[in-house]
Amino acid sequence: MKNIRNTRTIKKKANPYQPDPITSGSANKKLRIFMLLAIALFIVLVLRIAWIEFIDGDEFRADMNKQLSTSKVISTKRGKIYDTNGKALAISAKVDTVTINPNLIRVVKNKAVDEEKTKALKEKVAKAFSDIFELDYESTLEKVNSTKAFETIARKQEKEKIDQLRKWMTDEKCTSGINIDEDEKRYYPYGSLASNMLGFCGSDNQGLYGLEQKWDSILTGTPGRIITQKDASQDFIPDKNETYIAAENGCNLTLTIDANIQSICEKYLKQAVLGYDCKNGGTVVVMNPKTGDVLAMVSYPDYNLNEPFIANENLKGQYHDWESLTEEEKDSAVKATFKNRTVSESYQPGSTFKIITAAIALEEGICVTDHVDFNCIGYEEFGDTRIGCWKSAAHGYQSLRQALMNSCNPAFMQLGRKIGGETLYNYYDAFGLLSKTGIDTSGEEKGLFHGLSKLGPVELATMSFGQGITLTPIQLTSAVSAVANDGVLMQPRLVRQIENADTGIITTIEPKEVRTVISKDTSKKMLDMLTSVVNDGTGSYGQVRGYSIAGKTGTSEPQGNDTAYVASYIGIAPSESPELVILVTLYDPKGQSHQGGQLAGPVVSQIASEILPYLEIPNNTELEQNISVPETKSLPDVRNKTISEAKQILSDAGFIASASGGSDQIVTNQVPKQGTPLENSSIIKLYTEDSTATVSQTVPDLKGYTLTQARNALKAKNLNISYMGSGKVISQNITAGTTVEEGTVIHINLQQPKTELH
């Protein structure tokens, strides 16, 4: 029997370190796939990087630079405004504006805000702001506690207050969240001078009214920039590619306005408005007819350019009950003074408009200067409508010259009918009366005329003598200047030069001739007739010693809902070779008279009496013979002499000396000043070092007084007198109620009473 062994299969124990051939193949496959994916991803990444670098690189770099870039604005300096003589009327100065970031004013402890200490800090900061800048504490604290990112505390502060703030910040070690930024503030050195014409700037230095608004883009300039980069921590990154864009400062303007002439006009207009209680104020325009240059442009009441929203005494004086007005009414009254009424408000010109009608008639050959062409019976009738003459007794038969001298309404109604509406309107357009003048300031309006198609007989009649239509003062002044300028109309000009403040290059704005409206011959005839109006007609109150004056009165009567008269007078000087056209308008005068000749005429005379010599326009001594003037002596200079010596010198000269102090004390001041021309027996006040306080008196109201009465009234107050003319006082250079030093000279104008005024 075959021996069969019992065998068993013995399995060998697997070696853990020897790979399994089955699983090993699978792992290698996965690894290869992973490697391929990694390589693919790497290739994609490389391709993407290449795409970003070479295709989108410029765009991404631009975006990065945009995020890292920072720019700082370089502010410009607003240009100055000068008068024609180089006197600065508007300037700008560097100031600072204080702002805060309320969320940065806090106390942090252990990386957490300490609410209690932060509250105390904010109260301390608000108290400092309110004390330094004179602010309301509660309102300031509200801003400091604000949740806004930014609050303005105090705009345009002077160095003194900013220095106080800086010191407080240093002493209290409180700087976080408080910002002091450079700013600019507009200053007007002469306060209210030419305020309505100049206008002012807002809180952001933008022009708001007048020339400041009209020329804002020229005055402002172009801000510059510094463009650089900051890192994430907001530190500057040195970069040779830093961009610097220089600022262009605003240009300087030189005006045609003469500050001295402006001041003279403002003085006499204010006196007239107050003297005649003109509730709606008044205006003055002074123009050189040869160039169209506006030498003065005045509206009253005015305002302080440095504090435009605060009512000044001139405005308050227009209201007897200012304090009883509501805040809204006060605010409205203040804002009304911002208007330059000489260009933005029209009125009925009244009889001053007869100059235009007469010039058209002469140019059209409808009449001549001295032929009797008119008959005034006291009125004109148009169907059921009767329009009267201001003189109810009638003027009778007249020539054109006489009609102007008498300011006869029926004569001009007859003249208007002869000329015809269509011809009149053609000339009105040529004179620039149907459109704006184009004067280089803001807010200009134009007057109102009847539509030619709606012009009936009554409208034609009233229009011929200046009723039922309206003009702005600048329109009328410009048109009458054309009559005075050989018939050539010039565009009114306020700005004559623009200076680039950075380069010094000057651009001159030349006078602009618009058109010839009437002939030189007609112009000469008109000036001759208007001189007769002043010498022998209703315009006699406009006479000026030593000068020939042409002029015309105007009294526009209330119509419709309008209950106010307008008294006006337009003067041309000298009439033989005009250099000035002066228009004075007084709105709603109160008193016994509302006539333009009597009220506005003396104002033109006063203004011209000062301006003509100032402009060195020669006078004509032959013209002085009919005007009464006193004999005067020049006041000696007695300063640095003893009281005793001074009294003797003055006594020998015919004056009366009044002094306080011992006879051996030295005179340090005298009133009036040395060189003043004075009458005999004038009073001279002498002062020493021990008596520097002057004695004051209130100027009395002299209007209507005779010369003797005026002299006695002034002498009683130790005031002196100078005068021109004869008859009764029609004006005085210092307004009644003004306080002046004893010894001050009060100048008065006298005129023989007129029974015919218009």
DSSP assignment of 38-92 equals HHHHHHHHHHHHHIIIIISHHHHHHHHHHHHEEEEEE---PPPEE-TTS-EEEEE
412, 515: one domain: yes
- Which of 255, 270, 300 is a domain's end point? 255
pLDDT in tens, 120-179: 888 999 999 999 999 999 999 999 888 888 889 888 888 888 889 999 998 888 888 888
- Rg over alpha carbons for the chain, rounded to the nearest Å, is 41
Burial class (CB in 10 A: 0-12, 13-18, 19+), 639: middle
Question: Which residue, among 593, 568, 526, has the nearest Cα to 348 in the 3D structure?
Answer: 568
Burial class (CB in 10 A: 0-12, 13-18, 19+), 266: buried
The pLDDT, as a whole number, for residue 7 is 47
Q: Is 618 found in the same domain as 653? A: no
pLDDT value at residue 758: 58
Q: Residue 459: how many CA atoms within 13 Å on its side-chain side?
A: 15
Residue reference for tokens 């600048």 = 474
404's enclosing H/E stretch is: helix 400-406
Write out the E strands in 83-223.
88-100, 108-109, 112-113, 151-157, 178-187, 221-222
Sign of CA dihedral 578, 579, 585, 591: negative
- Phi then psi dihedrals of residue 698, to 5 deg: -95, 130
User: pTM, whole model, 2 decimals?
Assistant: 0.75
Which residues of the chain have a pLDDT value below 50? 1-10, 232-234, 625, 755-756
State residue 174's pLDDT score.
Answer: 87
In the block, tokens 């509200």 appear at 142
Q: Are 261 and 250 in contact (CB under 8 A)?
A: no
Q: Are 644 and 699 part of one and the same domain?
A: yes
Burial classification of residue 751, based on how many CB atoms lie within 10 Å of its CB (0-12 exposed, 13-18 middle, 19 or more buried): buried
| Same domain? 657 vs 521 | no
Residue 38 lies in a domain: no
CA distance 46 to 58: 18
Q: Do 429 and 469 fall into the same domain?
A: yes
Judge contact between 632 and 560, C-beta under 8 A. no
Tokens matching residue 726: 């004869």
What range defines the domain where residue 674 resides?
633-751
**In CATH, what number is assigned to the domain containing residue 125?**
3.90.1310.10
Q: What is the CATH number of the domain that holds 495?
A: 3.40.710.10
Residues 169, 172, 173, 177, Cα dihedral to 10° = -50
* Coil vs helix vs strand at 367: coil
Task: Show which of 255, 278, 308 is a domain's final residue.
Answer: 255
CATH of the domain at 718: 3.30.10.20
Residue 32: the pLDDT is 79
Number of structural domains (the chain) is: 3
d(CA 545, CA 574): 11
Whether residues 595 and 736 share a domain: the answer is no
End-to-end Cα separation, the chain, in angstroms: 175
pLDDT of 4: 46
Q: Quick one: 407 and 448 in the same domain?
A: yes
Per-residue model confidence (pLDDT) at position 2: 47
Would residue 364 count as lying in a domain?
Answer: yes
DSSP, collapsed to helix, strand or coil, labels residue 592 as coil
Q: Assess contact for 374 and 352: CB atoms under 8 A.
A: no
For residues 750 and 728, the answer to whether their CB atoms sit within 8 Å is: yes
* H-only helix segments in 448-587: 457-464, 473-484, 520-536
Same domain, 553 and 669: no
Domain-located, residue 644: yes
Q: Do residues 275 and 243 make contact, with C-beta atoms less than 8 angstroms apart?
A: no
d(CA 656, CA 636): 12
Q: Which of 255, 282, 299 is the last residue of a domain?
A: 255
- Whole-number Å distance between alpha carbons of 551 and 570: 5
Tell me the C-alpha to C-alpha distance, in Å, between residue 190 and each of 187, 207, 493, 735. Answer: 9, 18, 22, 21
What local confidence, expressed as pLDDT, does residue 692 receive? 63
| Cα–Cα distance measured from residue 671 to residue 674, given in angstroms and rounded to the nearest whole number | 8
